[in-house]
Amino acid sequence: MDIILASASPRRQELLHLIFEDFRCIPADIEEIVPDGMEATCVPEYLACQKALHVSKQYPDALVIGSDTAVICGDEIFGKPVDDADAERMIRALSGKAHYVITGCCIFCNGKSLSFSEKTAVEFYALTDDEIKAYVATGEPKDKAGAYGIQGEGSLLVKGINGDFFNVVGLPVSRLNRELKKFTV
């Protein structure tokens, strides 16, 4: 069976290799527009489904996996920063606080679909402005939800986590593996 990851994320590709040896990556070319009034915690699963649906229409005989990750602190949802100033703003908002990383996943296969989201609590140390600027200067925050990479230098900002580490990286592989067993792969 043709297996497609509807993502260009190198981190998701690396993590999906823990489940599948062979798959293709076909990023979903969609505008990430969310319906008004949608709860922040529902956004990643909604966007994951939009991505998987878009790619599955082009490849109806494939197993397609869509995924989206967001960092949520209070009522604010953090996607990828638009620039260094935005990254500094996000890290400053997370400094000294707990937040949630939610990754939504959606699977389309043989006319069936299944979606879920995984939530991991992450707590940051209280950071100085110099620490924030130095981390942003590494360039690591540029393509990451919440402007940090827990698998890299961003790990130095993290006081602790409760939940799936790989979920924070961008793909809850253990849960995804369990959900995939509901399909004949």
Which residues carry out catalysis? 68
63-73 and 3-5 strand pairing: parallel
As a whole number of angstroms, the distance between CA 115 and CA 89 comes to 31
Residue pair 67/170 in contact (Cβ under 8 Å)? The answer is yes
First-last CA distance in the chain: 7
Closest of 44, 141, 166, 153 to residue 91, by C-alpha: 141
| Total Cβ atoms within 10 A of residue 158 | 15
Amino acid at the residue 51: K
